[in-house]
Structure 1
Amino acid sequence: MKIDWASLGLVAVTTVVAAIAIIGIYSLGVLALTSGGKAGPDGVAAPSPLARITGYLCLAASGLLVLYGLYLIVPQFH
């Protein structure tokens, strides 16, 4: 049995980079949705409309990336 260490290293690096990218996009979405704007009459600071749209887009993008990864892994989807 011979292991192709270069290919194994490439897969490991790609996995780490993809995981960091997905977590980063998700974190930006959460940050955008929890960023405080002007406080309303009840004292709660709601995010601005642009921050809310950006947050939902980031969350959707990270969800789609996870679903694409599952599509690549499960052979019955092909």
Structure 2
Amino acid sequence: MFTLSLRQRRRVLLAALLSDAVFPLAITGATAAVPDVTARLSGADALGPWIVLAYNGLFAAALLLAGTTADRR
């Protein structure tokens, strides 16, 4: 097991708090864009939930990839 200095622990805490603050914004980003996207596509009234689902699925996949990458280093 390794130990972190006080400065490194503060950096980890700052990164964790920042990610906790930004995460809800990342999830709601797709929801805010849905009305504009569906207005531009013809016959896309039922596409709204699929757009949000696809965005959130890709975001979750990116988180898994980032976590795996971080664990390997």
The normalised TM-score by structure 1 is 0.48
Could you say which structure has the larger radius of gyration? 1
* Greater share of helix: 2
Larger RCO (alpha carbons 8 Å, 6+ apart): 1
